[in-house]
């Protein structure tokens, strides 16, 4: 792996090794450009490896974000087979609890016929039989998207970064913080905290939830907010298998894919209970490759960087709601963590050029794993040296 000797001059320097940064580096090196990827940690350790690992075009509304999600699915499929990393086509089931939710999901399945993101409506009985642990008293139907994918994000980014650094014209500089980026007349200079300087024709900054180290002034009053999410791992002593990844009916009131359809059909579904809304709780249950249950999540928005402190109240609310959806699970928490991303509230992405040769990309919100690869491919495709 070429992490020992670094050149001083590159075509492109990418700062941040999360999903946005790693894929920008990957596509830059695919174009044959000499690329340097700089990451603060040994491997990325922030939102991109703390998530569910779900790649869910089903949650994206038709249009540019769904197109990016579908493009991302193709990218992951090709890359995971090259890297030997498991990619599972787990599919997603969005549950209905009330009769109105079931009617809405049925209508949505009809509206989606012929869509590149096919979906099948399952009635209450079919839904209950589709999974080991669903509570018959909770489920009145579901919408099943068979194409949604899942991978282990930590394993994936380690393998991807090792591979691009080993096999190509891309250097990886871990455990290094970029502290300044300056544009000169014909190139850019990046300085690192350990006093080194690197030069490139273009610099792409994908610093995730760190809006303070580089170009802090660009993010002020720019519609970018932080979002902290809480997650849990719960035990699976009887080695049960969920079958698909499962979303609660709250998803129908959160994701644009469902909100837009409600709007078009003149439907308004009941909002979740006030305490769930207050903490932005929506329930997803998935299983990782070790068959452990991953349960989340909450959304706490702020204008200032949040701490990593976690709330026992939020954890209890998540578990209490999940207990209504599932039976036969013991809900013993074996791990808990939080993750932070940034979200640009208007366009769903913060993409700015503070100089001709410098780009800042963050604020992709909760869809970074699903759409990041497609977005990076598109963005690098538009860049010329």
Please identify, using beta-carbon distances, which residue of 110 and 303 lies nearer to ligand FAD: 303
For residue 373, state whether it binds ligand FAD (rule: CB under 6 A).
Answer: no
- Cβ count near 164 (within 10 Å): 25
Q: Given candidates 272, 297, 349, 359, which one binds ligand FAD under the rule CB under 6 A? A: 297
Number of residues that bind ligand FAD (CB under 6 A): 43
E strands of the chain, at which residues?
9-15, 35-38, 54-55, 87-88, 92-96, 120-123, 141-145, 149-151, 170-173, 178-183, 188-192, 197-205, 224-234, 245-247, 284-287, 293-296, 300-302, 333-344, 350-355, 358-362
CB of 340 to ligand FAD, least distance (A): 6
Tell me phi and psi for residue 359, to 5 degrees. Answer: -125, 140
Nearest to 247 by CA among 139, 153, 157, 338: 139
For residue 143, state whether it binds ligand FAD (rule: CB under 6 A).
Answer: no
- End-to-end CA, the chain: 26
Binders of ligand FAD in range 170-229 (CB under 6 A): 177-178, 206-210, 213-214, 229
For residue 52, state whether it binds ligand FAD (rule: CB under 6 A).
Answer: yes
The H or E element that residue 274 is part of is helix 274-278
Please identify, using beta-carbon distances, which residue of 140 and 370 lies nearer to ligand FAD: 370
Nearest to 55 by CA among 380, 374, 378: 374
* CA distances to 74, 232, 376 from 209, in Å: 27, 21, 18
For residue 18, state whether it binds ligand FAD (rule: CB under 6 A).
Answer: yes
| Beta bridge partner(s), residue 92 | 145, 245
Q: Round to whole Å and give the CA distance between 17 and 205.
A: 10
For residue 368, state whether it binds ligand FAD (rule: CB under 6 A).
Answer: yes
For residue 160, state whether it binds ligand FAD (rule: CB under 6 A).
Answer: no
Q: Which residue stretch of 101-109, 127-135, 141-149, 366-374 sits at the interface with ligand FAD (rule: CB under 6 A)?
A: 366-374
CB of 362 to ligand FAD, least distance (A): 5
Please identify, using beta-carbon distances, which residue of 34 and 50 lies nearer to ligand FAD: 50
Please identify, using beta-carbon distances, which residue of 263 and 337 lies nearer to ligand FAD: 337
CB of 99 to ligand FAD, least distance (A): 29
Positions touching ligand FAD (CB under 6 A) are 15-21, 38-41, 44, 46-48, 50-54, 177-178, 206-210, 213-214, 229, 231, 296-297, 339, 341, 362, 364-370
């Amino acid at each position: 792996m070429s992490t020992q000797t670094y050149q001083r001059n590159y075509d492109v320097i990418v700062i941040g090794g999360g999903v946005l940064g790693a894929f920008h580096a990957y596509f830059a090196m695919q174009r044959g450009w000499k690329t340097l990827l700089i990451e603060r940690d040994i491997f990325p350790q922030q939102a991109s490896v703390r998530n569910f690992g779900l790649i869910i075009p089903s949650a994206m509304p038709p249009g540019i974000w769904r197109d990016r999600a579908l493009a991302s699915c193709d990218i992951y499929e090709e890359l995971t087979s090259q890297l030997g990393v498991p990619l599972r086509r787990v599919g997603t089931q969005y549950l209905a609890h009330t009769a109105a939710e079931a009617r809405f999901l049925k209508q949505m399945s009809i509206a989606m016929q012929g869509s590149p993101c096919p979906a099948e409506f399952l009635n209450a009985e079919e839904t209950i039989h589709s999974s080991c642990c669903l509570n018959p008293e909770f489920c009145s139907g579901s919408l099943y998207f068979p194409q949604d994918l899942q991978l282990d994000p930590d394993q994936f980014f380690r393998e991807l970064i090792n591979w691009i650094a080993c096999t190509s014209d891309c250097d990886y500089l871990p455990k290094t913080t970029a502290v300044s980026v300056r544009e000169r007349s014909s190139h850019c200079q990046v300085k690192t905290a350990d006093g080194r300087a690197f030069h490139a024709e273009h610099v792409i900054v994908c610093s995730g939830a760190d809006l303070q180290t580089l170009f802090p002034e660009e993010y002020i009053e720019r519609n970018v907010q932080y979002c902290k999410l809480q997650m849990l791992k719960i035990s699976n002593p009887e080695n049960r298998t969920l079958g698909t990844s499962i979303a609660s009916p709250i998803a129908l009131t959160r994701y644009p894919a469902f909100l837009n359809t409600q709007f078009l059909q003149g439907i308004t579904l009941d909002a979740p209970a006030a305490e769930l809304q207050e903490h932005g709780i929506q329930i997803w249950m998935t299983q990782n490759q070790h068959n452990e249950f991953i349960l989340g999540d909450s959304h706490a928005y702020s204008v200032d960087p949040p701490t990593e402190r976690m709330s026992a109240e939020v954890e209890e609310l998540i578990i209490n709601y999940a207990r209504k959806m599932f039976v036969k699970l013991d809900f013993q928490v074996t791990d808990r963590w939080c993750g932070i991303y940034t979200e640009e509230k208007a366009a769903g992405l913060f993409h700015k050029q503070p100089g001709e040769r410098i780009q800042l990309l963050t604020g992709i919100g909760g869809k970074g794993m699903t759409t990041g690869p497609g977005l990076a491919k598109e963005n690098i495709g538009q860049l010329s040296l």
